[in-house]
Amino acid sequence: MVLSTGLYWHLSRRCFARQLWQRLLLGFTTGLLLCALCALPGWAQSDHSAPVARQLFAQLSDMLSEQPATSERSAPVRLNGRTLFQVAPTEGLSASDRAAEIQAILNRAARRGAMPSAVRWQMDSVSQQPILYLGDQFLMTITEADAKIRGFENLQIRADEVAASLRQGLTQFRQEHRPEFLQQQLRRAGLLLLLAIFASWVALLLLLRLNQQRQQYLPAPRPMNEDGSEPETPRQVITALRRRVFRGQRRGFIDLQRWLLYAAQAGIWFGYLFYSTGLFPQTRYWQPIISRLIELPVEIGLIAIAAYALIRICNVAVDRTLLAVQEEALLRANPSQRLALRVTTFSGVAKSILDSLIIATAGLVTLSRLGVNLAPLLTGAGIIGLALSLASQSLLKDLINGLFILVEDHYGVGDVIIVGEVAGFVENMNLRITQLRNEEGRLITIPNSAISVVQNLSKEWSRVDLMIPVSLEADIDQALALIEQVAEHLRCDPQWCELILEPPLLLGVDQLDHAGSTVRIWIKTAPLKQWDVAREYRRRLKIAFDRADIEIGIPQQSLQIRSA
């Protein structure tokens, strides 16, 4: 035990150390990459290398925009990755092409050291539209469509607003390309990297703790008592089921926490990457691209987490409802152990139905977020469902027959049944199939539509039906008294009294033939306990027969010889 515990902790520490090392390496690599990108003053001040990269970033951002270029109403003009203002399309140019031309002129002027005071505008005497200049360089013309983007009717007000945005953008450009600003941002990025590593380390500690707790709540194959024995009385069955349900709920809650921690770890590093790219003008162009790239996966992930949480909540509600029904049944005069055993069957079927509905709803919501039109999809699904229902009538028979089996309680999970030529323990059951585990350990799957006649060997109670052969030379009255006495002693034994529900019923001599006298006895037992009681009774009866010199009946033949 000590060796296994030590080995487990050793492996846990190795796994934890490996995961922590991977995250530290990831954080260090990310920070080093950002530092390498931001510590190149030549790239920040060059006139040749930056425009190509920024144009690529702008084109990629436009490709990821929600509206295509042919139908867009406006496009952003950016400087240092920040959006300054929006422009509208003109007769000869689309909004994105016009924004790209203005942005190229603005970037060249900013890198050449254009002052904010160089921004000015004047009215064109011919078109009566404001024209913006950067010194002597023409920048753009303010059109009525540009003014309507902000809801202005006066072109001069829009020109003042655009000019103010340009002055502010040029001021920030000059400040952000100073060496001291880059050093300050590098220190801030390093601090954020340390915080991300610490938060990821805390999340890893919590995950390791949750994994240890989850090992304590692994599901048992069947409801068991605290000492590991099988429940026998109805109250013990309810207690074992409540304990099993609690363990399942606790395990589900731990799984939900684990998924949230995984999502939190992904959010920590994506948040760090997104925020760090916005600290530097050289990498700020990646922010809108990253935001558009992760927007849809984040939404799908939130839908999946919400669906999983709803599934866990519904499972808990089903378990608590069925347990309340079982506890109410225990308050009756004669509590039925059968009613207690049905909770597993009903809960399994109810959970599967609710899980299917929730997963289907989450799938439809995900498709809608992906831009799929659900109206023709649902119409086509209805037509396909109708065609499948006509083509697969056996599936409908399975579902209908399974529903009747469940409602009428022909059998349930935990019963031992005989269906045709197969017999076994009911290990799983739903509306379509029934799965049996036979004495050889084979799993037998039977469609519910194929079940017409079923023999339930464990519903409400069971019975030991013994045929005991007694030798013809033995005293039959002594044998009858001894058989009944052994059954009564077994019933009075504290270890077996709870399994035998009624006094044994000795039917008497049921058959008389050449093998001897066959005595029949019935012993009513708890469900699934008839085999245990029968084995113990046979053992005790054999010992009693040996002490009383009563022989077991064997086939005999007599040979008569007559003279001629």
- Indicate whether 465 pLDDT > 80: yes
What average pLDDT does the segment 21-49 reach? 46
How large a percentage of the chain has pLDDT more than 90? 5
Class of domain 462-547: alpha beta
Higher pLDDT, 152 or 1: 152
Cα atoms found within 13 Å of the Cα of residue 199, Cβ hemisphere only:
19
* H-helix or E-strand spanning residue 79: strand 75-79
pLDDT at 366: 85
DSSP structural state of residue 283: T
Which residue's structure tokens are 């009624």? 502
> pLDDT-based confidence at 56, cuts 50/70/90?
very low
> pLDDT-based confidence at 392, cuts 50/70/90?
low
Higher pLDDT, 25 or 535: 535
pLDDT at 535: 92
pLDDT at 3: 35
147 in Cβ contact with 155 (< 8 Å): yes
| DSSP three-state, residue 458 | coil
How large a percentage of the chain has pLDDT more than 70? 75
Which of 254-263, 347-356, 539-548 comes out lowest in average pLDDT?
347-356
> pLDDT-based confidence at 68, cuts 50/70/90?
very low
Which of 252-261, 326-335, 351-360 comes out lowest in average pLDDT?
326-335
Do 410-456 and 462-547 share a fold? no
User: CB atoms < 10 A from the CB of 461, how many?
Assistant: 15
Position 486, amino acid: V
pLDDT at 354: 85
- Tell me how far apart the alpha carbons of residues 492 and 498 are, in angstroms, rounded to a whole number: 9
pLDDT at 66: 43
- Tell me how far apart the alpha carbons of residues 438 and 357 are, in angstroms, rounded to a whole number: 33
| DSSP three-state, residue 104 | helix
Which of 247-251, 253-257, 335-339, 472-476 comes out lowest in average pLDDT?
335-339
What average pLDDT does the segment 344-370 reach? 81
Nearest of 479, 529, 531 to residue 499 by alpha carbon = 529
- Tell me how far apart the alpha carbons of residues 30 and 279 are, in angstroms, rounded to a whole number: 14
pLDDT at 67: 41
- Indicate whether 53 pLDDT > 60: no
What average pLDDT does the segment 472-501 reach? 88
- Indicate whether 4 pLDDT > 50: no
348 in Cβ contact with 429 (< 8 Å): yes
pLDDT at 344: 63
Phi-psi region of 142 (alpha: psi -120 to 50; beta: other; left: phi over 0): beta
pLDDT at 69: 38
pLDDT by residue (tens digit) across 174-189? 888 888 888 888 888 8
As a whole number, the mean pLDDT across the chain is 77
pLDDT at 528: 80
What average pLDDT does the segment 63-77 reach? 58
- Indicate whether 272 pLDDT > 50: yes
pLDDT at 221: 52
- Indicate whether 456 pLDDT > 80: yes
Long-range contacts of 296-299 (CB under 8 A, 24+ apart): 296/369, 296/370, 299/369
116 in Cβ contact with 170 (< 8 Å): yes
> Whole-model pTM?
0.52
Residues ≥6 apart with Cβ < 8 Å to 45: 111, 177
- Tell me how far apart the alpha carbons of residues 349 and 306 are, in angstroms, rounded to a whole number: 22
pLDDT at 453: 87
194 in Cβ contact with 186 (< 8 Å): no
pLDDT by residue (tens digit) across 155-164? 888 888 888 9
User: CB atoms < 10 A from the CB of 482, how many?
Assistant: 20
pLDDT at 538: 92
pLDDT at 49: 38
Higher pLDDT, 305 or 29: 305
Domain boundaries, the chain: 49-177, 203-372, 410-456, 462-547
The alpha carbon of 540 is separated from its chain's Cα centroid by a whole number of angstroms, namely 53
Protein fold of 410-456: SH3 type barrels. (2.30.30)
pLDDT at 390: 57
- Indicate whether 486 pLDDT > 80: yes
What average pLDDT does the segment 369-376 reach? 76
Higher pLDDT, 226 or 490: 490
- Tell me how far apart the alpha carbons of residues 127 and 159 are, in angstroms, rounded to a whole number: 15
Cα atoms found within 13 Å of the Cα of residue 488, Cβ hemisphere only:
7
Residues ≥6 apart with Cβ < 8 Å to 16: 204, 208
Burial of 103 (0-12, 13-18, 19+ CB in 10 A): buried
